[in-house]
Amino acid sequence: MLSSARTVRPRWLRMLTASALAASLAVAVPAAASATPSTTRDGTEAQRARLQQLARKVVEAGAPGVIVRVDDGRGRPVEIAEQAAWSRRDHLLKVGDEFRMGSNTKTMVAALVLQLVAEGRLALGDPVEKWLPGKVPNGKAITLRMLLNHTSGLFDYTEDAAIRPSILGKDRRRWTSAELLALGVRHDPLFAPGTRWSYSNTGYAAIGAVLERVTGTSLSELVRDRIARPLRLKHTYYPADSTWRGPHARGYEPDAAHMPPGVPAEFRHLAGPRHHGHVDVSDIDPGWGGPAGAVVSTTQDWFRFYTALMSGKLLPAAQMTQLRTTVPMDSRRPDGPGYGLGIQTNAGTCGTVWGHDGGVPGYLTTNLTDLTGSRTATVLISTEFWAEFEADPKIAEAAHALQTAVTCTMFGKPVPAGAHAG
């Protein structure tokens, strides 16, 4: 879950066709995409029509709903919402709806850490032992930077069976950052600190515990007071439970009888209302994601957050440099995709993309931006297990085509002729 799981690689490297972020970071675009951007109204409308067609293809492939927002920094953004007819009885999907951000939370949590670094209250080179004595084995060798860029070697707590009932909505307990950390560190580390890269939600559980200890403030209050209120993000929050604050996208997974064969038996039964072969998982408490994945937001709010972050409004120049200092995500490709502090990047044909993705039951989200935050894009698909378990090639193909088109549209490039589905 949360864009990691079962291997040391991120989802988009494991699943070239299924991963939302893979499609945007590893897209191979035909030569036509390098043409001069169209600035005509007709060109914009044609791009919108193409994106809407591709979003509809994702729904036709089996996704309950899709939201797209693309801003190329030159005018009015393209905003699209498509949904399956059967899902309308639950909620009429709108672009402004709230949804669960999953691992995109990590970008926001990293920004909080860097704010405290700028204030002299933390240092990226601090060993985790300094702030959480005795809580992390070999904590003197693991720095805050390693926790943030996934080089700590800590086992990912989402792989522990004890968290599974919470992921599936069968256990309503509220996990604290300290409890999630303890779940992860009861397993042996994967490697010596700083020697490799492996996605670990446990590292962010540790970061959450550090933030709460240093500030004496809850993560909910830190997100509210340091990011949401200053940026006027009215629909962005770190939830205290499963409650939503505003109109929200409904998230679904297939019920056990309709679950794709590739989904493991232990993940085939989720809690929630059932109809049309699906389980409505919208009210599963995201607390099991904690600092690694619990934040709720909207497409518009995340656009404002990315713009503020990448333009330097939230952080001084020195901390922005640290945010963008990356390590290779694949040791076989040292010049390939990199992970910074809560954000990842790759140079694609249409432009260099920065961003993150996130997956929790019912919500698969990709958020993208350019280096300056002047161009942004978000894609939400309101079902996630198809990607987590590489279980539905039909949705994967359609989602790949959509993400390819979204990425090039964000950079003001023509939608590739090769972006098709079905």
Which residues are catalytic, by number? 103
d(CA 366, CA 407): 11
Q: Is 306 helix (H, G, I), strand (E, B) or coil?
A: helix
Distance CA 66, CA 198 (A): 30
Among residues 405, 408, 416, the alpha carbon closest in space to that of 54 is found at: 405
| Residue 83 near residue 232, CB atoms below 8 Å | no
Q: Which two tokens stand for residue 62?
A: 């089996």
Which residue bears the tokens 């905003």? Answer: 79
Measured over the CA atoms of residue 122, residue 123, residue 124 and residue 125, the dihedral's sign is negative
Return the half-sphere exposure (C-beta side, CA atoms, 13 A cut-off) of residue 313: 15
User: Taking a C-beta distance cutoff of 8 angstroms, is the pair 197, 331 a contact?
Assistant: yes
- Measured on CA atoms in the order 181, 184, 187, 189, is the torsion positive or negative? negative
Side-chain-side CA neighbours of residue 266 (13 Å): 9
Edge-first strand listing for the sheet containing 274-275: 252-254, 278-280, 274-275
Quick check: 391 and 385 in contact, CB under 8 A? yes
Q: How far is CA 292 from the centre of its chain?
A: 10
Distance of CA 159 to the CA centre of its chain: 18
The whole-angstrom separation of Cα 305 and Cα 102 is: 16
Structure tokens at 59: 């729904």
